[in-house]
Amino acid sequence: MSLSNILQDFPILNQIDKNGKRLCFLDSAATSQKPETVIEAMNHYYRTINANIHRGIYQIAEEATDAYEKSRKKIQKFIHAGSASEIIFTRNTTESINLVANTWGRKNLQKGDLVILSEMEHHANLIPWQILATNQGINLEFIPVLENGLLNLTEYKRLLGLQPKIVCVSGMSNVLGTVPPIKQMAVDAHKAGALFLVDGAQMAPHMKVDVQDIDADFFAFSAHKMLGPTGIGILYGKEALLESMPPFLGGGDMISKVYLRSFTTNDLPYKFEAGTPAIAEAIGFGAAIDYLNQVGMDAISKHEMEITRYAIQKLQKVPGLKIIGPTDGFRGSAVSFTLDYAHPHDVAQILDSEFICVRAGHHCAMPLHTRFSVPATTRASFYLYNTLDEVDRLITGLEKVHHLFG
Amino acid sequence: MDDMYREIILDHYKNPSYKGELDPCDLSFEDENPLCGDHLKIFLRVNENGIVTDARFNGHGCAISQASADLVVESIIGKNVEDLKKMTKEDVLDLLGFEDLGPVRLKCALLSLKVLKGGIYGVKDAEE
């Protein structure tokens, strides 16, 4: 499949506004758009095989179960996990990390134990650990972010000397676009006796992921940022670790035997999937994986890198514009910036009048904005369906902002 | 939404007449809009009759919130503090020349009113 005719697969992106402008969606770091095949896969489930999974004896229930489990296998292959039982369906990345904090964390972390995070974490990989710090008295330390947006790895090495129990970092910053060397960081963490968790919410949609090659103990990500529906995400965990962890939510499907006063847990991965899951969404996620595979993750990375380089080069020529994050080297496609004469809300509003969607605010990373001494930034983020023409439209929009405010 | 950035908004945003601080002042209040990080502080001088004799605002935020602060501060000079309690959302929208704003931008426009009212009621409570 060629990337040039991808647009026709995304119904929403073919919308034209009253001024004849096509929707220019530059907010895929918040959520991605969905191709027809994903929407259709979910429709098909509801129209033809809607039934609860794992219990029905009848035909459509078996088909629904089969479709749900097929998605799990597709996701397993997509991230190169060793076994499908290591793929836990959750609601999203946030829930996946909360699962780890609440089960592995509560069991294994005691007062005074250290958890290492970084200054650029999304709130999803910060608050669950803060809650543990409050409830269990664990300590948190943070890998600093350098002025150029990269992690201070010298400081990381020093922090590893403090014998952390787990290191939890983003595989790609949703604000800076920074891609930390997580494979090497995992090696270092393991040498220091710590586990390694990757917040893969931004990484999984944009580049090839091999959890075994990274040697991640946990890897969390969401479907909706990678062409899939909202309401479904994944926690990957190494099998032995998942086996050793207590259950998270209690209820149907996560049990093996139930008595009035006790229960035994189901096998992996069902042990962590209590209640009726998001069946249609899991099936939609499978269709999204099919679509990504068809295009190819390497082709997607290459396409995004080309657009991101072009965007950075053009953005740097806009008067008064400052990019927060790396401006060269391998990086993600989220590009955040400030304009010294216009507030991000006003920037986003004016771009919206050109039918261009960008994000304005702190992007769920308030401490990172504090680190760079800015209350908010404007963020443009690109995905496989974005084009160089759209970057030009962004720049024209920013020229309008400069004309009004500069 | 192009008409959101009309002359009146841009003028008061770029060249505010009442931006600054009053030292000394009789009352000062501050608050923020945590969603967008906008921060606003308002300073008042009030005479023995409860009349606002001078006022300023300081802080940072979008064009709507800053223009609103400049217009609101301008409008309260010469008024009785008691009358400020009666200021409404419609009064602020009138000052800005908007019939309505979307729910998100309404928060920007009303930050100045929020700070003003929060401060006056807070002071009143402290006196009582």
Residue B127 above 70 pLDDT? no
**Alpha helix (H) residue ranges in A31-126:** 36-44, 59-78, 93-100, 106-108
Looking at the complex, does the CB of residue A362 fall below 8 Å from at least one CB of chain B?
yes
Tokens 């601080």 locate to B21
Residue of B nearest to A369 (CA): B37
d(CA B82, CA A219): 58
Copy the structure tokens of residue B34: 């945590």
Chain A residues inside the 8 Å CB shell of B13:
405
Determine whether the interchain pair B62/A350 forms a contact, defined as Cβ–Cβ distance below 8 Å: no
Residue B1 above 80 pLDDT? no
A364 is catalytic: yes
Looking at the complex, does the CB of residue A343 fall below 8 Å from at least one CB of chain B?
yes
pLDDT computed for residue B105 by the predictor: 87
Residues sharing a CB contact under 8 Å with residue A123, sequence separation 6 or more, in sequence order: A364, A365, A366
Tell me the whole-structure pTM to 2 decimals. 0.94
Identify the structural domains of chain B with CATH numbers, from first to last: 2-127 (3.90.1010.10)
Give the tens place of pLDDT for each residue, A185-198.
999 999 999 999 99
pLDDT computed for residue A74 by the predictor: 98
Looking at the complex, does the CB of residue A132 fall below 8 Å from at least one CB of chain B?
no
Identify the structural domains of chain A with CATH numbers, from first to last: 3-30+297-405 (3.90.1150.10), 40-294 (3.40.640.10)
pLDDT computed for residue B125 by the predictor: 45
Answer for the pair A27, A383: CB distance below 8 angstroms, yes or no: no
pLDDT computed for residue B4 by the predictor: 82
CB-nearest partner of B4 from A349, A375, A405: A349
CA distances from A118 to A146, A229, A371 (A): 11, 28, 12
Chain B residues inside the 8 Å CB shell of A344:
36, 62
Cα dihedral sign, A96-A101-A103-A105? positive
pLDDT computed for residue A161 by the predictor: 98
The one-digit pLDDT tens for each residue of chain A (406 residues) are 457 789 999 999 999 999 999 999 999 999 999 999 999 999 999 999 999 999 889 999 999 999 999 999 999 999 999 999 999 999 999 999 999 999 999 999 999 999 999 999 999 999 999 999 999 999 999 999 999 999 999 999 999 999 999 999 999 999 999 999 999 999 999 999 999 999 999 999 999 999 999 999 999 999 999 999 999 999 999 999 999 999 999 999 999 999 999 999 999 999 999 999 999 999 999 999 999 999 999 999 999 999 999 999 999 999 999 999 999 999 999 999 999 999 999 999 999 999 999 999 999 999 999 999 998 999 999 999 999 999 999 999 999 999 999 8
Residue B128 above 50 pLDDT? no
Residues sharing a CB contact under 8 Å with residue A135, sequence separation 6 or more, in sequence order: none
Write out the H or E segment, with its range, that includes residue B52.
strand B52-60
Residue B111 above 60 pLDDT? yes
What ipTM is given for this predicted complex? 0.86
Residue B79 above 80 pLDDT? yes
Beta bridge partners of B39: B32, B60
pLDDT computed for residue B126 by the predictor: 41
* Cα radius of gyration (chain B): 14
